[in-house]
């Protein structure tokens, strides 16, 4: 039996216009459509493949506002069995460290987990650090940027892919894996899956329920802060180069002037 925890985050849809709030420079989550991060769909898919290859249970854990329930339901409709949703006003603006601490406390509620699967980087915060910090906090091995994943008995084997190449990794369970975008093509939830998800258990908890001090999380306790932000400048019109026999050198001159070459 493999007891798998999948970490999922609801993020603003990358296809909608994403903005920061003027007051505290946190992400304006209300102004954009919210979706289950695509990398987390892949994390769920990988967990379901392991579950389907043998016995196992998949628990989804998410830290996010009330509307994150939609992302959790999507993971459940894909086939995950149950969920823990940590939702608390005090969490607004939490940094990577606080987020990882809260996730660690939530995982403490999952009896005898074997494997934690996360995305390697969320498409909003893009810290790419929550999985590594979490593994440190839990004192378990971390296998990050994974492209191929296999669980054999109490061993997890993975191919880690980075710009430097592919590394073969192996660890004893319990362990944490973060997956890269090439790992799989996630399934679409079926109608049956969507209906079944409505009845699956979702445990909604506050930080106090988890024994986490509300004074240790949130924007005021983040180790870094955004002091200023400005909207992206509108795109400039491109520069046209007419080829009068000297097109090549004009393009080269332009690239040099822009310090591109």
Q: Give the residues lining the site for ligand FAD (CB under 6 A).
A: 7-9, 20, 25-27, 37, 39-40, 43, 61-64, 94-96, 99, 103, 118-119, 121-122, 124-131, 222-226
CA dist 11 and 174 (Å) reads 28
DSSP 66: G
Q: Supply the minimum distance, in Å, between the C-beta of residue 2 and ligand FAD.
A: 18
Q: Supply the minimum distance, in Å, between the C-beta of residue 6 and ligand FAD.
A: 7
Residue in the shown chain whose Cβ atom is closest to ligand FAD: 125
Give buried/exposed letters for 214-225 (b at 16+ CB in 10 A, else e).
eeebbbebbeee
Alpha helices in the chain (DSSP H): 38-53, 69-78, 96-107, 130-138, 191-197, 247-257
Torsion of CA 10, 90, 225, 43, to 10 degrees: -20
Q: Supply the minimum distance, in Å, between the C-beta of residue 104 and ligand FAD.
A: 11
Q: Supply the minimum distance, in Å, between the C-beta of residue 15 and ligand FAD.
A: 17
Q: Supply the minimum distance, in Å, between the C-beta of residue 154 and ligand FAD.
A: 23
Nearer to ligand FAD, 43 or 104 (CB): 43
Nearer to ligand FAD, 21 or 241 (CB): 21
Q: How many CB atoms lie within 10 A of CB 86?
A: 24
Q: Supply the minimum distance, in Å, between the C-beta of residue 87 and ligand FAD.
A: 10
CA dist 112 and 125 (Å) reads 30
Phi, psi (degrees; rounded to nearest 5) at 190:
-85, 165
Nearer to ligand FAD, 2 or 40 (CB): 40
Nearer to ligand FAD, 31 or 150 (CB): 31
Nearer to ligand FAD, 140 or 241 (CB): 140
Nearer to ligand FAD, 232 or 240 (CB): 232
Helix axes 38-53, 69-78, angle to 10 degrees: 30
Helix (H) or strand (E) holding 77: helix 69-78
């Amino acid at each position: 039996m493999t007891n798998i925890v999948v970490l999922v985050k609801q993020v603003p849809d990358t296809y909608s216009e994403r903005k920061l709030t003027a007051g505290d420079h946190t992400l304006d989550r209300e102004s954009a459509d919210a979706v289950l991060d695509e990398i987390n769909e892949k994390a769920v898919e990988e967990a379901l493949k392991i579950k389907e290859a043998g016995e196992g249970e998949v628990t989804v854990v998410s830290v996010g506002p009330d509307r994150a329930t939609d992302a959790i339901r999507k993971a459940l409709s894909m086939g995950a069995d149950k969920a823990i949703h940590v939702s608390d006003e005090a969490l607004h603006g939490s940094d990577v460290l606080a987020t990882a601490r809260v996730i660690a406390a939530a995982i403490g509620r999952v009896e005898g987990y074997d494997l934690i699967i996360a995305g390697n980087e969320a498409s909003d915060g893009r810290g790419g650090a929550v999985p590594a910090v979490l593994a440190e906090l839990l004192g378990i091995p971390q296998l990050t940027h994974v492209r191929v994943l296999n669980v054999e008995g109490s061993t997890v084997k993975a191919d880690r892919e980075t710009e430097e190449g592919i590394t073969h990794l192996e660890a004893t369970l319990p362990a944490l894996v973060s997956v890269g975008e090439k790992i799989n093509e996630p399934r679409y939830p079926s109608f049956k899956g969507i209906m079944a998800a409505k009845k699956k258990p979702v445990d909604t908890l506050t930080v106090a329920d988890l024994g986490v001090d509300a004074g240790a999380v949130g924007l005021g306790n983040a180790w870094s802060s955004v002091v200023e932000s400005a909207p992206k400048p509108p795109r400039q019109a491109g520069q046209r180069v007419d080829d009068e026999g000297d097109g090549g050198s004009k393009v080269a001159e332009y690239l040099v002037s822009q310090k591109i070459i």
